């Protein structure tokens, strides 16, 4: 038995370790397919991301991703039941591969950096691992904020102008959603502290901070740089290059044409990772 990131890890062969991660990730990919939380491409990406997360980050990162997957799926399902199956402007209820990669890619990259640095720079390794957790916390904070903010029934306001905006529009925030963001991050921090009770408060603090920071940064990009198109067929604005009617939205209203919702989510997780890296220097021992 050895200790990694404060967690006792049972020593197994590398092959068995990676096979275990693949098996667990495959189970969650299949579960996502059966519950329609994942599209087929999303299920495949979940297997890849989950396997790498367990391979490089061991149980703490795997637990954080499981907490994100389960809580996000449950909140999304609750929203569908309470509010009806209304398609969001940026994504459907089933996550595809790009959505999975946008939410989990940064965490896996940081975990890989942590694993490679472990033998030569233990302090940097711990900070990189915290960055992986921070990336997941940012994704969870944004998800909790979106879902619980929508369930609150409050009309969102633009993060920049504080003017009322349509429900579901990127850049809009509600007070319940803002409160939900750090709660979602805290849940990820709690999951990451599995087996590391001495650092529980530190992990929860990191998760809480990154959940809020990631969510607010996501809303900031949504209100400023995310692309918004105008569909000439439906006479509506859309955050999708190809609108729900199946036709390409013709005119760019604002933002960068290549920055869609997946790009915004990926950027928010990177900000969460950087925030956690900085916080880990002072909070983790």
Question: Which tens digit of pLDDT belongs to each residue from 101-133?
Answer: 999 999 999 999 999 998 788 889 999 999 999
Which H helix or E strand runs over 83? helix 40-83
Which H helix or E strand runs over 251? strand 251-254
CA-CA distance, 211 to 101, in Å (whole number)?
18
pLDDT in tens, 222-247: 999 999 888 877 777 778 777 666 67
CA-CA distance, 6 to 3, in Å (whole number)?
6
* pTM score, whole prediction: 0.90
Whether 192 contacts 207, CB under 8 Å: yes
CA-CA distance, 120 to 108, in Å (whole number)?
20
pLDDT (0 to 100) of residue 135: 98
Token duo for residue 277: 């890296």
pLDDT (0 to 100) of residue 12: 60
CA distances from 106 to 111, 192, 218, 239, 248 (A): 9, 16, 15, 23, 30
pLDDT (0 to 100) of residue 11: 53
* pLDDT tops 60 at residue 169: yes
DSSP-based helix, strand, coil % in the chain, nearest 5: 65, 10, 25
End-to-end CA distance of the chain: 21
CA distances from 97 to 29, 42, 91, 125 (A): 11, 4, 12, 28
CA-CA distance, 203 to 185, in Å (whole number)?
10
**Percent of the chain with pLDDT strictly greater than 90:** 65
Domain spans, the chain: 12-283
């Amino acid at each position: 038995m050895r200790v990694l990131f404060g967690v006792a890890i049972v020593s197994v062969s590398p092959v068995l370790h990676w096979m275990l991660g693949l098996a667990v990730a495959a189970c969650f990919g299949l579960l996502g397919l059966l519950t329609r939380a994942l599209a087929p491409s999303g299920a495949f990406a979940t297997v890849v991301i989950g396997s790498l997360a367990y391979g490089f980050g061991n149980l703490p990162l795997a637990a954080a991703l499981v907490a994100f997957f389960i809580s996000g799926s449950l909140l999304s399902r609750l929203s569908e039941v309470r509010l009806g199956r209304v398609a969001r402007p940026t994504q459907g209820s089933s996550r595809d591969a790009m959505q999975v990669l946008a939410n989990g890619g940064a965490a896996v990259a940081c975990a890989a950096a942590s694993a490679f640095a472990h033998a030569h720079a233990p302090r940097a390794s711990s900070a990189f691992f915290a960055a992986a957790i921070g990336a997941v916390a940012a994704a969870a904070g944004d998800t909790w904020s979106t879902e619980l903010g929508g369930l609150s029934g409050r009309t969102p306001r633009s993060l920049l102008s504080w003017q009322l905006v349509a429900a579901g529009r990127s850049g809009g925030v509600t007070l319940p959603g803002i409160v939900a963001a750090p709660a979602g991050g805290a849940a990820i921090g709690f999951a990451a502290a599995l087996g590391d009770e001495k650092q529980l408060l530190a992990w929860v603090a990191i998760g809480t901070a990154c959940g809020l920071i990631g969510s607010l940064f996501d809303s900031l990009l949504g209100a400023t740089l995310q692309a918004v198109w105008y569909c000439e067929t439906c006479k509506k604005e859309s955050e999708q290059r190809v609108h729900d009617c199946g036709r390409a939205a013709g005119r760019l209203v604002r933002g960068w044409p290549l920055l869609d919702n997946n790009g915004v989510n990926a950027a928010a997780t990177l900000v969460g990772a950087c925030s956690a890296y900085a916080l880990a220097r002072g909070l983790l021992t």
